[in-house]
Chains A and B, each alone.
Chain A
Amino acid sequence: MADMEKKIIYLDHAATTYVKPEVFEVMKPYFDTEYGNPSSIYSIGRSNRKAVEDARISVAKSIGAAEPSEIYFTGSGTESDNWAIKGAALALKKKGKHIITSNIEHPAVLATCEFLQKQGYDITYVKVDEEGLINPEDVDKEIRPDTILVTIMMANNEIGTIQPIKEIAQVCKKHGVLFHTDAVQAAGNIPINVKDLGVDLLSVSGHKFYGPKGVGMLYIRKGVRIESLIHGGHQERNRRAGTENVPGIVGFAKALELANINMEAHYKKLSSLRDRALKGITDRIPYTRVNGSMEKRLPGNLNISFRFVEGESVLLMLDMKGIKASSGSACTSGSLDPSHVLLSIGLPHEIAHGSLRLSFGEINTEEEVDYLIDALDEIINKLRNMSPLYEDFTKGV
């Protein structure tokens, strides 16, 4: 395994993915030869207009939208979330100022809600159970006459929990309340069909499914009115100004198309690697627990807590062995509190500090997983031998 130590073993695909060669290939011409502005009327402008509109048609098809005009390209998943939430809040402020979300959302949603709270909006945070799941009935109970929007993520970025989006959408529909879902982690990993789900607004980011960074998408169901946030141009049907990121948009569409074609094989491969890692780790290392539901979970996500150790130390030692992963410890977030998601599912602080997120991808192999298990066994042992918590535990203090 000595040669593996020089190699990078990337187990952080929930953070970002590499761009697939097929995707990069279709993007290339729009950087140098076909560099025109889609808004220009000459040929290399028109060819770019066509590339953007073809991408829109492709994305609409990929997510089951009724019309390509329901697809709006943005600069990121975060922008899409901001637009959906602030745009709905601004458009519907006369109807009410109440928004419902969950306490395990991505900061792109949570911080946007906090911002609106400062502007006088009222935010309700629906709690999740110990597996990280939301009960649609809890959403139902919180809806009031002045509720204007419900925003609940489709799949969680830390623990991979997949929410009952269709059922929550039905609750919202019953009350005539808009429903937005952040599908950034879900896209490319599980099927998304906006018609079947019944959502009004849905956010996606390009770099989570082997597409480029710097490009996102917001699905806005036909007839749904939200305010624009970026002004200054007629692009995206007057709703999102700014010259289109043509290579990004082209790459986004291609990556999503490939993800849809490969979805079954992708799901099978990632979940098999994930399960192999889970079994190896829990067989070899005592005092560990898996966070989140094992049934309703993204195929590549594994979130484990190791008692008596701290997450950043684990990450640094993994990094020295070439393994790239992520943690929910406070030290990796720059705050004093560990992950809000892990605390929300009821983990005590000291256990949340010792958590590790592994997110597998299409390039990973069983050999890499086995190397990971060996590495973790050694690292956790080393750190526990250094830990006063473990010392107290073994002495029965």
Chain B
Amino acid sequence: MYSEKVMDHFTNPRNVGEIENADGVGQVGNAKCGDIMKMYLKIEDGIIKDAKFKTFGCGAAVATSSMATELLIGKTIKEAEMITNKVVMEALDGLPPVKVHCSVLAEEAIAAALQDYKIKNGLVEDNMYEGCSGCCGGCGSHELRREHLHAEHE
């Protein structure tokens, strides 16, 4: 049911762990839904120097977290903001339809960690993601964010 890449990232997840004094930390999902992702970022001069994660969830949740950290490292913040669930999914050679929400969670974890960084550094005025549980995109919050991003990058 999973691609070889998903199984590879699940079996040997990259960048598992925490970053002490991380510049950005984001946690999305909730235990009730069975998925929690916590993303840690080390950012220097606008570049993501390191990314680590901890995930409670299924094989796809672990694999998307792992892939997300690989995609993040070395990117600028602007580039990191372009890592959507689709990008993560494609990098993993796809996910079964019932697991697509795991890639949405990865996108939301990235967004939450970047948002945390921006807040810490006074780079945002409105904190539009505060209080978002980000569970499975059910509340539509990631759709909102996507529209927002779309408008920003157009």
Contact = CB atoms under 8 A, between A and B. Distances in A.
Q: Is the interface of A mostly helix, strand, loop or mixed?
A: helix
B59 A388 contact: no
A349 B35 CA distance: 11
A371 to B, nearest CB: 19
A330 B31 CA distance: 11
B58 A312 contact: yes
Given A388-B36, A388-B38, A391-B18, A313 B31 contact: no
B10 interface: yes
Q: How large is the interface on B (under 10, 10 to 19, 20 to 34, 35 or more residues)?
A: 20 to 34
A385 B17 CA distance: 8
B108 to A, nearest CB: 14
Given A385-B16, A386-B16, A309 B34 contact: no
B34 A387 contact: no
B56 A309 contact: yes
A138 to B, nearest CB: 28
B38 A310 contact: no
B102 to A, nearest CB: 9
A391 B59 contact: no
A329 B58 CA distance: 9
B34 A330 contact: yes
Interface stretch (A87-95, A163-171, A250-258, A331-339): A331-339
Interface residues of A, number: 25
A329 B27 CA distance: 21
B54 A388 contact: yes
B151 interface: no
Contacts of B27: 388
B56 A308 contact: yes
A331 B34 contact: yes
Interface of B: 7, 10-11, 13, 16, 18, 27, 31-38, 54-62, 98-99, 136
